[in-house]
Structure 1
Amino acid sequence: MRTEICDRLGIDVPIFAFTHCRDVAAAVSNAGGMGVLGAVGFSAEQLEIELTWLDEHVKGFYGVDLVIPARYEGAGMDDLSPEQLEAALAERVPAGHREFAEELLNSHNVPHLPPEEQHAQLLGWTAVTAAPQVEVILRHPKAKLVANALGTPPKDVVEKIQESGRLIGALCGSVKHAMNHKNAGLDFVVCQGTEGGGHCGEITSMVLWPQVVEAVGDLPVLAAGGIGSGAQIAAALAMGAAGAWTGSLWLTVEEANVPPAQQQTLLDASSSDTVRSKSWTGKPCRMLKNDWTEAWERSDTPSPLPMPMQMMVALDAVKRGHRYPEAAKDVAFNPVGQVVGMMTKVERTGALMGRLVEEYLAACARLEALNQR
């Protein structure tokens, strides 16, 4: 199961786990894979705390995932500070969108936040606001890998990361995007089919993975989108992938910082309960469909705004959903892939890693037996 990228990153198995929870990231890295912490929800100061904790609890290395979109509202306003950019974009948000979001939450009796928690920063949804996060990452040697979730990272970010000895890559949902990453000199691409949770394209994994592998040549490809078993990892490697990039699976492990009500919603969901929606971030994002996603799709309601302004509308809902998960379960932000239908029990991260490896070996054994017939 060991591939070349394992040697470059100092890991035992090519299993990458995207998560917003530092405990999960540490557990995956300590089990031989690479935990990748999603940074978009953290200020630079908070990210410093998270990475310092990971430095102390990870025996080897870990990764960090940024969100610097290639295209977004406000791109080109690089002369502004993060605070100035946030203020400038806030002026472009129609009052009707905020009012509609507020009415939707009130209709579901989701309590308001305490006054001290009401301000929600834009954080890492633009190049300007993500720049301080990059500087934090560069101060932590165990942060061996950086991935950008939306588009090819800016040239200066790529140069800084590579000059520090780290690997930098980005997610893609098409051959075109993969070639953009390759031409920009990235070290790897994460090829995500439409089954995947979060931001994704329209092409399925089984079709997309081999196309991207062939197109980028010797550039390592990490397969993502719908991976929930070791057999699927074996299939990805058989098609030329250098490893598996997983995400949704880690929402239902014991270490995940997911409220019990939200976790139970995931455990109860089937693979047909997800939808690609712009209602939270402004770009197509796969999540559990609920009253929030359906409300923004109606013809008599506001249309989602471009990124990052839609997230500026939705940030209050995200925070209220985290604080009051029971009340907000029908209007909560639940990004997850179609693999949710395979997520039927809670288990320890280490046990899940072990199961993935065992299932991979069993799949390889089945193929070997067929080859010997």
Structure 2
Amino acid sequence: MKSPICDMLGIEFPLLAFSHCRDVVAAVSRAGGFGVLGATVHTPDTLERELKWIDEHVDGKPYGIDVLIPENISTAGEKDVTWKSLEARVPQEHRAYTRDLLMKYDIELTTSDVADNQPQPFDAKTALQLLEVSFNHPIRLIANALGVPPKAMIEMGRKHGVPVAALVGAKEHALRQVAAGVDILVVQGTEAGGIMTGRQMAACMAMGAAGAWTGSVWLATVEAETTEIFREKMIAASSRDAIRSKGRTGKPARQLRSVWTDAWDRAPESPGALPMPLQSVISRDAFNAIDRAAASGNAKARDLVSYFVGQGVGLIDSVKSAGAVVQEFKEEFAEAVEHMNALVAE
């Protein structure tokens, strides 16, 4: 493979796999792709444990990490914002709406205990601490979404000789990222999660891409962090069931349509989603309760089960190992390239 991304990352096949699950990351890298661990949910201590595990199971193959440092967030400019201080800002109207919604489905909403100093969701200071932890491991890429990475992140990449990637959704975003010094652009549209096959990967590269960034396809692997119930819902879903909703984070994000998304986006009585990161304070406890109830046999709770996924969910028809998915990508990619070469030869 002559793609420049292969030389940059030290890989044989330019398939990048974003996942919150360390098992997926290691399996993809072992199979010749490039696993990228979503680190945003971690603390420095838990990330250290995850990366140590990956180092021990990746057979020396390269991998990267992804953090989330939103450029636009309602708490921008504030210092030392904690989870508990955010909880105090959540209006009672939104708390009552969430509690009443879950009660309709026989789900009891309980609040998780958090430390007094636990940072807010998507905290930039914490993200930079996660990067410091990561550079103690042989990572080959750091990536950021939701805006231009802070200058400190780009400087850290330069210092350690690690490329910096950023997700972009429009031409003007790409120009700003390049001007800021980003090395790799992950170009996406409103879909965000649509590359599910090797043929699609080949099509993207035929249009000029150096590789493919994937996410949704790994949610239906045996190694993924997703619940069995959500996997069943993915298999049953069509592409139309992956909608953009603010109901989980406060920003539009692709996820599987459910009673939860309808309640926040469509119900006339909805108070409307709160801005990021406040909506995450509401949704974290709610989805923990939903998943517990569904797993314990509450059939009604299944209607609220959801997770982030792109429209490519319509192509998911079974659960496979991550290694098998990489192999399918390779085979389909080769077949597509052979087909295109034959068209040119004719």
TM bracket (short chain): over 0.9
Equivalents in 2 of 1:340, 1:98: separation in Å? 31
Q: Is the 8 A contact 1:18 1:247 kept in 2?
A: yes
Provide the residue aligned with 2:221 in structure 1. 253
Secondary structure of the corresponding residue to residue 303 of structure 2: coil
Q: Deviations over 1:330-362 (max 9, x none)?
A: 223311000001011111111111111110111
Higher relative contact order (CA 8 A, sep 6+): 2
Q: Is the 8 A contact 2:120 2:277 kept in 1?
A: no
The 1:118/1:107 distance shift into structure 2, 3 A limit, reads: farther
Equivalents in 1 of 2:279, 2:2: separation in Å? 41
Provide the residue aligned with 1:44 in structure 2. 44
Give the Å deviation of 1:146.
Answer: 0.9
Q: Deviations over 1:141-196 (max 9, x none)?
A: x2211111211111112111221111111111111111111110011111112222
> Is 1:66 aligned with 2:34?
no
Provide the residue aligned with 1:208 in structure 2. none
> Is 1:176 aligned with 2:172?
yes
Equivalents in 1 of 2:40, 2:5: separation in Å? 25
Give the Å deviation of 1:109.
Answer: 1.9
Provide the residue aligned with 2:279 in structure 1. 310
Provide the residue aligned with 1:278 in structure 2. 246
Give the Å deviation of 1:2.
Answer: 3.8
Give the Å deviation of 1:88.
Answer: 3.5
Give the Å deviation of 1:92.
Answer: 2.2
- What does 1:176-195 correspond to in 2, within 5 Å? 176-195=172-191
Provide the residue aligned with 1:127 in structure 2. 124
Q: Which runs of 5+ in 2 are unaligned?
A: none
Q: Is the 8 A contact 1:72 1:126 kept in 2?
A: no
> Is 1:21 aligned with 2:21?
yes
Equivalents in 1 of 2:168, 2:82: separation in Å? 27
Secondary structure of the corresponding residue to residue 149 of structure 2: coil
Q: Is the 8 A contact 1:67 1:124 kept in 2?
A: no
- How high is the TM-score relative to the length of structure 2? 0.93
Q: Is the 8 A contact 1:229 1:359 kept in 2?
A: yes
Give the Å deviation of 1:89.
Answer: 2.8
The 1:282/1:154 distance shift into structure 2, 3 A limit, reads: same
Equivalents in 2 of 1:263, 1:162: separation in Å? 39
Q: Which runs of 5+ in 1 are unaligned?
A: 197-224
Alignment root-mean-square deviation, CA? 1.8
Paired AA for residue 142 in structure 2: V
> Is 1:355 aligned with 2:328?
yes
Equivalents in 2 of 1:109, 1:119: separation in Å? 25
Q: Deviations over 1:240-293 (max 9, x none)?
A: 101100000001111112221111011110111111000110000011111100
The 1:133/1:333 distance shift into structure 2, 3 A limit, reads: farther
Paired AA for residue 344 in structure 1: D
> Is 1:232 aligned with 2:200?
yes
Paired residue total: 338
Provide the residue aligned with 1:202 in structure 2. none
> Is 1:290 aligned with 2:286?
no
Equivalents in 1 of 2:233, 2:106: separation in Å? 18
Q: Which moves more between the two structures, 99-108 or 337-346?
A: 99-108
Paired AA for residue 289 in structure 1: R
Paired AA for residue 321 in structure 1: I
Secondary structure of the corresponding residue to residue 330 of structure 1: helix
Provide the residue aligned with 2:316 in structure 1. 343
Q: Which moves more between the two structures, 258-267 or 317-326?
A: 317-326
Q: Deviations over 1:103-126 (max 9, x none)?
A: 21222123455x8x5449666513
